[in-house]
Amino acid sequence: MATVVEHAFPVQIPVNHIHLDGDLIIPEHAHGLVIFAHGSGSSRHSSRNRYVAAELRQMGLATMLMDLLTRREEQLDARTGHLRFDIDLLAERLVAAAEYLALDPRTMNFPIGLFGASTGGGAALVAAARRPQLLHAVVSRGGRPDLAEEALPKVHCPVLLIVGGDDEQVIELNRSAMLQMQTHVEVAIIPGATHLFEETGALEQVAHLATDFFNRYLQKHDDKLVLDGLDPR
């Protein structure tokens, strides 16, 4: 595979009274942007998400891996486990990141998608329901769309739900969520894979499916993107 020239930038996303750390990487000739929402107990340093992000960049997609919790919140959550399931909070932070990057000169012309893992999949769907004009595609890896609850019928962008074939409970949760959504939804089941996709070749299949899906739905348009409540200047 040919080497792609990339430009990396540390980013701090302002959300209310805090800042969340992120790693923005833009390959040359990028045509879209994917923001990653990690799963419970993880962070922007997730090795699985970083692998998928690297594969996306090879195909011309900029990536943003971010922490959904501050360091202090992570320490609290390690003891209580309650923040990782606060889907409204996580979705709010994903929306804040998307709004921030939609105004950043480096990324403002990119259509934006979300890649969510585990609980991050639920947060990504809630964020997409809240900002349909801003978020154009969602891919969920081993996600918990059931945590999105009443937001599911309000999702308007295309959605890809990737589930491991041996992750039986999560398969049922994703199939049930699919029936509640009124948009274009695809379910891809990877045979022999479990929840973390640790099996040989499983994560490679996730990356291939995600890359194909985002490249179908994150395409630049000539018409100007209108962001509710945002000043594009």
In a domain, 1, yes or no: no
In a domain, 132, yes or no: yes
In a domain, 228, yes or no: no
More confident residue, 43 or 164: 164
In a domain, 36, yes or no: yes
Angle, to 10 degrees, between the axis of helix 87-103 and the axis of helix 119-130?
Answer: 60
User: Is residue 233 over pLDDT 60?
Assistant: no
In a domain, 66, yes or no: yes
Give the pLDDT score at 225: 43
In a domain, 124, yes or no: yes
Report residue 40's pLDDT band, with 50, 70 and 90 as the boundaries: low
In a domain, 149, yes or no: yes
In a domain, 203, yes or no: yes
* Total structural domains within the chain: 1
Structural domain span for residue 120: 6-217
- What is the CATH number for 168? 3.40.50.1820
User: Is residue 230 over pLDDT 50?
Assistant: no
Secondary structure of the chain as H, E, C letters: CCCCCEEEEEEEEEECCEEEEEEEEEECCCCEEEEEECCCCCCCCCHHHHHHHHHHHHCCEEEEEECCCCHHHHHHHHHHCCHHHCHHHHHHHHHHHHHHHHHCCCCCCCCEEEEEECHHHHHHHHHHHHCCCCEEEEEEECCCHHHHHHHHHHCCCCEEEEEECCCHHHHHHHHHHHHHCCCCEEEEEECCCCCCCCCCCHHHHHHHHHHHHHHHHCCCCCCCCCCCCCCCC
Give the pLDDT score at 41: 59
pLDDT tens column, 102-133: 999 999 999 999 999 999 999 999 999 999 99
